[in-house]
Amino acid sequence: MLTSLYDGTIQIWNYETEEMIKSFEASTSPVRSAKFIARKSWIVCGADDMMISVFNYNTSEKVISFEAHGDYVRSIAVHPSRPYILSCSDDMTIKLWDWENAWACVMVFEGHTNFIMQVAFNPKDSNTFASACLDKTIKVWSLGSPVANFTLEGHTEGVNCLEYYQGGEKPYIVSGADDGTVKVWDYQNKSCVQTLEGHTQNVDAVCFHPELPLIISGSEDGNICLWHSNTYRLENKLNYGLERVWAICCLKGSNSIGVGYDNGSICIK
């Protein structure tokens, strides 16, 4: 499990033994996003110093570091097959980087009017991706065009997080926002399918569980909500007393759920 911290540290954990395998300073600023690129043995991360940095996770050596944006780097997404990463920023842009072309910026995507909090590739069509923004919208884009294909509107406050549904046929995105709600969207019909209400503060993390029929959401209220992904019923609410929830991740082939809080990370099995 990979964690990126406000103090600029990156940690790699074995979540089965609960042992930290590696810890190193990635930045002197908060690191808001970090991702494994397993096919290169890399970790790529983005920080408040506007830099993207890449490290070899076996040796901890820095591969490259470069100024990527004009403001905080909020989120990074790794293309599943091509040598690309996406980054998004408080500078209201999304950028596409090609590591086989000396990390050249090959496209800038513009149209949002506030901080862009997260980007995610569509697992069913990796030529498209979605972005969550504090302008209260989600936009869906194609890699070949600098302008969005369409915009999903419905949240009444800024959108912090999103994820695509990986299984089955449903063309769904789930999102979480500062209005305290979780929304499920049909990106083919461009409509909101369901609004899930159960949090009392900003929702900062959402995901579809890859193995179980669950939507998982985490909030600054400290709660994790587990929703049935077919009935949308609130099945369970968990609170471990670790303050605000900032990140949730699931592993394909496993029921485990990783959660990052203000005061630590946990693995729910």
Residue 249, both tokens: 């991740």
What secondary structure letter does DSSP report for 113? -
pTM over 0.75: yes
Residue 224, both tokens: 């994790």
Annotated domain spans of the chain = 72-268
Site of tokens 């209260």: 136
C-alpha torsion sign, points 172, 124, 84, 189:
negative
CATH among 2.130.10.10, 3.40.50.720, 3.30.1330.30, 3.40.630.40 for 72-268: 2.130.10.10
Separation CA 87–CA 171 (nearest Å): 23
Separation CA 30–CA 221 (nearest Å): 22
Q: List, for residues 97-121, the tens digit of each pLDDT value.
A: 999 999 999 999 999 999 999 999 9
Tens of pLDDT along the chain (269 residues)?
Answer: 999 999 999 999 998 898 999 999 999 999 999 999 999 999 999 999 999 999 999 999 999 999 999 999 999 999 999 999 999 999 999 999 999 999 999 999 999 999 999 999 999 999 999 999 999 999 999 999 999 999 999 999 999 999 999 988 899 999 999 999 999 999 999 999 999 999 999 999 999 999 999 999 999 999 999 999 999 999 999 999 999 999 999 988 999 999 999 999 999 98
